[in-house]
Amino acid sequence: MNIRQIDAFRATYLMGSVSRAAEMLHISQPSVSRLVSDLERSVGFKLFDRTARGLVATEEGRRLYSSVERSFIGLREIRNAATAIRTLGSGDISLGVIPALAYSVSPLAAARMQKESSDLQLNVSVRTTQQIIEKIETHQFDLGLISPIHEPANVSTYYRTSTRYVCLLPNHHPMAAVEAPIDLMSLRDDDFVAFDSLYLSLISDNEVYQFIQSRARLSSHSSPVVAAMAEATGAVAIVDPFTANFVAHSEKIIIKPLLQDIRFQIAVVGRPTLSLVAQRFVTILASQISEWLASKDAQPAAL
């Protein structure tokens, strides 16, 4: 018994004649007849009776066809699954995202990916950069959207860019109406809400770091929390533009550019080997970040 014999039997059963089965399979009638006869010898029973209306399956033939059709349904499911994988119609992706990008880039990218992949299973978890890297290394995450200080080891970097930090000022601040970028050193009489001190020490020069730390009365490792505390308390904060967007419509906060060039690093990282659907998601994430940074929403009002 072989697959060509099964194909000939199934076609003959469905079409009701050898000639139409031959047309369906694009082979000659004698070939179909021979294949069906070979299958009958192999299984040990007759598959068709010849009648005035054509070939009619025997009881044994009908029972065999039921098994054959179940196998073909399984093959179709395999073909459909392969097509879905090839065309990015399905797949599983686990993404780790830092808080600053969790409510802007990642949901927009997820929406775009969902339109392309109808059966995609995407799980998004909010973690710190270091936690994301560790989970990629241990195969708990496929991809990460992080803000690295140095090139992360043991994971692959698929996209990297940076943008300038901005300053959040209370709307009643004397510098709020100034058109020029804000010089941090001119804010010596203001209280600050500080982001994670270790991160701040690495992204800025020592003078800026010491200045902000000396003025900080509040701090958090979560940039959205920093922005929320700045809005609630009227303190000054230095945040990335994604975070600043959370309070962009606040009546209490003014977003201003900084004189100091302090940069927010952004990277899409992941396992060294990615599925096709994960590779496509990397492209969408990179595109979404670039588009967001180019949009007016990412620009401080004074620029």
User: Which residue ranges does the chain devote to CATH 3.40.190.10?
Assistant: 92-160+265-298, 166-261
102: confidence class by pLDDT, cuts 50, 70, 90: very high
Nearest to 247 by CA among 269, 220, 225: 225
Q: What is the pLDDT of residues 188-203, one digit of tens each?
A: 889 998 887 666 666 6
Q: Which CATH number fits domain 166-261: 3.60.150.10, 3.40.190.10, 1.10.20.60, 3.30.110.40?
A: 3.40.190.10
The CA-atom distances, in angstroms, between 197 and each of 202, 204, 209, 281 are 9, 11, 8, 32
The CATH number for 3-86, chosen from 1.10.10.10, 3.40.50.970, 3.40.50.300, 3.40.640.10, is 1.10.10.10
Mean pLDDT in residue range 51-75:
83
Residue ranges matching CATH 1.10.10.10 in the chain: 3-86
CA pair distance 220, 167, nearest whole angstrom: 16
- Please tell me whether residue 95 adopts helix, strand or coil conformation: strand
pTM of the model: 0.68
The CATH class of the 92-160+265-298 domain is alpha beta
The band of 302, judged by pLDDT with boundaries at 50, 70 and 90, is: very low
Q: Which residue has the tokens 């860019």?
A: 161
3-state helix, strand, coil in the chain (%, to 5): 50, 25, 25
pLDDT at 77: 67
Location of structure tokens 């349904």: 73
In this structure, the number of other CB atoms found within 10 A of the CB of residue 184 comes to: 22
Q: Is the dihedral of CA 85, 88, 91, 96 positive or negative?
A: positive
For residue 218, what are the β-bridge partners?
A: 193
The amino acid present at 111, given as its one-letter code, is A
